[in-house]
């Protein structure tokens, strides 16, 4: 058969079709395996795999100044990226009682995270909400806000004292809990018929993990704007750069641990009752490469 010259429009059309097919195949392959990272690092049927990676922020020996730097950096990052808080507030609004004041009980609050912005977003939508912040390592000086109260005693998210009422929220922290503990958190909310809202600020897909490679640069850019300001943050960012390194490592590991919607379904599958409903989905946030998994659990009439 006579070969077409490379400049022939027919041959160029063939090349274009072939490259679209190849790109399409890659996209399909990516879609099929997008939760592969979760499945490798987190076996929700058989418990924690022996090679589950550690996060510095989870270690008892990790110096408080570095742990606070991590969560203070997160709170600052939320401020420069407000669409995230908006997306979360939109979902929280769906579980709040309309026309009456509500209280949020935030678990694993770190340095307060996006709570001031979330309360602002809820207020714009007509909800009057107060928030109680809690953590295993409370950081009460991290936020000063009229509608926010910090509980100074440590609160373990896996053993929430029953007298702490309110809509339970957890942001960027559910991945810290291996499957058994994660399920215990959901079970407690389910058995006490409390509303619970779980959100993550990243996802365990390949793109989600790849996006973490910007984080060291973001830390270098944002650390001077972290509040409350501490000279130690600058010392350990620019002179002895442990803060960018530990935040980068914990960022990568946390994305690998984030529960995918399918895994969240498995965690809630045994927690079924006619008067309690789970909603599991993904939030599309402009500027982020992939959708963010979320879970809502609430009593239904």
Ligand X SMILES: C[S@@+](CC[C@H](N)C(=O)[O-])C[C@H]1O[C@@H](n2cnc3c(N)ncnc32)[C@H](O)[C@@H]1O
Task: Pick from 66, 92, 119, 173 the residue near ligand X by CB under 6 A.
Answer: 173
- Regarding 66 and contact with ligand X (CB under 6 A), the answer is no
CA distance 196 to 298: 7
Stretch that binds ligand X, among 35-43, 67-75, 228-236, 257-265 (CB under 6 A): 67-75
Closest contact distance (angstroms) between CB of 195 and ligand X is: 17
With 0-12 CB in 10 A as exposed, 13-18 as middle and 19+ as buried, what is 140? middle
| 126 CB-near residues (< 8 Å, 6+ apart) | none
CA-CA-CA-CA torsion sign (271, 293, 143, 166): negative
- Regarding 253 and contact with ligand X (CB under 6 A), the answer is no
Taking residues 140 to 159 in sequence order and writing x for each that binds ligand X by CB under 6 A, - otherwise, the string is ----------------xxx-
Does an H or E element contain 37, and which? helix 36-41
Site for ligand X in 98-137 (CB under 6 A): 107-110, 113, 135-137
Closest contact distance (angstroms) between CB of 251 and ligand X is: 9
Taking residues 7 to 46 in sequence order and writing x for each that binds ligand X by CB under 6 A, - otherwise, the string is ----------------------------------------
- Regarding 68 and contact with ligand X (CB under 6 A), the answer is no
Q: Which is nearer to ligand X, 90 or 299 (CB)?
A: 90
Closest contact distance (angstroms) between CB of 250 and ligand X is: 7
Number of residues that bind ligand X (CB under 6 A): 19
DSSP, collapsed to helix, strand or coil, labels residue 1 as coil
Rounded alpha-carbon distances, angstroms, from residue 187 to 6, 136, 160, 200: 64, 19, 12, 19
Q: Which is nearer to ligand X, 30 or 249 (CB)?
A: 249
Task: Pick from 74, 182, 209, 211 the residue near ligand X by CB under 6 A.
Answer: 74
- Regarding 65 and contact with ligand X (CB under 6 A), the answer is no
Chain centroid offset of residue 301 CA: 29
Q: Which is nearer to ligand X, 84 or 95 (CB)?
A: 84
Report DSSP letters for 112-169, one per residue. -TTHHHHHHHHHHTT--EEEEE--SS--GGG---TTEEE--S---TTS--TT--SEEE
Q: Evaluate whether 173 touches 108 at the Cβ level (below 8 Å).
A: yes
Q: Which is nearer to ligand X, 138 or 261 (CB)?
A: 138
- Regarding 237 and contact with ligand X (CB under 6 A), the answer is no
| 292 CB-near residues (< 8 Å, 6+ apart) | 87, 199, 200, 201, 202, 203, 282, 283, 285
Q: Evaluate whether 167 touches 141 at the Cβ level (below 8 Å).
A: no
Chain centroid offset of residue 279 CA: 16
Closest contact distance (angstroms) between CB of 177 and ligand X is: 7
Q: Which is nearer to ligand X, 12 or 41 (CB)?
A: 41
Closest contact distance (angstroms) between CB of 200 and ligand X is: 9
Contact positions toward ligand X, by CB under 6 A? 57, 71, 74-75, 107-110, 113, 135-137, 156-158, 171-173, 176
């Amino acid at each position: 058969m006579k070969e077409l010259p490379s400049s022939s429009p027919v041959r160029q059309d063939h090349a274009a079709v072939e490259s679209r097919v190849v790109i399409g195949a890659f996209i399909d392959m990516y879609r099929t395996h997008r939760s592969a990272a979760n499945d490798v690092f987190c076996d929700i049927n058989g418990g924690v795999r022996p090679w589950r990676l550690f996060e510095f922020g989870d270690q008892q020996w990790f110096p408080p100044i570095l742990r606070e730097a991590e969560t203070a950096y997160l709170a600052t990052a939320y401020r420069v990226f407000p669409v995230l808080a908006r997306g979360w507030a939109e979902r929280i609004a769906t579980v709040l009682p309309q026309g009456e004041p509500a209280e949020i009980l935030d678990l694993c609050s770190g340095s307060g995270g996006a709570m001031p912005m979330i309360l602002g977003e809820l207020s714009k939508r007509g909800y009057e909400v107060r928030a109680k912040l809690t953590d295993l390592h409370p950081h009460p000086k991290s936020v000063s806000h009229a509608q926010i109260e910090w509980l100074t005693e440590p609160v373990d998210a896996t053993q929430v004292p029953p007298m702490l009422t309110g809509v339970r929220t957890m942001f960027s922290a559910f991945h810290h809990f291996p499957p058994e503990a994660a399920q215990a958190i959901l079970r407690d909310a389910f058995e006490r018929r409390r509303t619970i809202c779980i959100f993550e600020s990243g996802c365990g897909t390949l793109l989600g993990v790849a996006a973490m490679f910007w984080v060291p640069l973001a830390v270098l850019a944002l650390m001077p704007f972290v509040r409350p300001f501490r000279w130690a943050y600058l010392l350990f960012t620019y002179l002895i750069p442990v803060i960018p390194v530990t935040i980068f490592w914990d960022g990568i590991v946390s994305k690998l641990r984030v529960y995918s919607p399918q895994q969240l379904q498995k965690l809630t599958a045994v927690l079924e009752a006619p008067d309690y409903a789970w909603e599991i989905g993904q939030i599309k946030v402009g500027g982020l490469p992939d959708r963010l998994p979320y879970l809502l659990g609430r009593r239904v009439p």
